[in-house]
Structure 1
């Protein structure tokens, strides 16, 4: 399950994409850039959450 080490970094890719999307929509009055910024904020939160959870999981498996 070494692929689980790389999954949190996909959240950073999503963050960059949604920040770019929000910035491009910012000048369009009919668009909703705040939704993109909100999704980017959730992706950053998920990145740190998954990193912390992964570290706990790794520490628990080393103790056994």
Structure 2
């Protein structure tokens, strides 16, 4: 029976589902934070170059 397997493992389906959902959400949030940090860094670099009035990359 499918309902017996989680009991034997000591994990209820609800808890396992919440764990997987939480894991997915945390990965999603980390990706958003990394993306936002990259965008902020790019904006900062562009703003810094404009402020200096020169192309730093040369």
TM-score band, normalised by shorter chain: 0.5 to 0.7
The question of 1:52 aligning with 2:6 is answered no
Relative contact order higher in (CA < 8 Å, ≥ 6 apart): 1
1:22-37 residue pairs with structure 2 within 5 A? Answer: 27-28=9-10, 30=12, 32-37=15-20
1:39 maps to which of 22, 27, 30? 22
CA RMSD of aligned residues (A): 1.6
More helix per residue: 1
* Cα displacement (A) at 1:29: 5.3
Q: What count of residue pairs does the alignment treat as equivalent?
A: 38
1:8-53 Cα deviation digits (max 9, x unpaired): xxxxxxxxxxxxxxxxxxx335462100110000011011111110
Q: Which has the larger radius of gyration?
A: 2
Q: Secondary structure at the match of 2:37?
A: helix
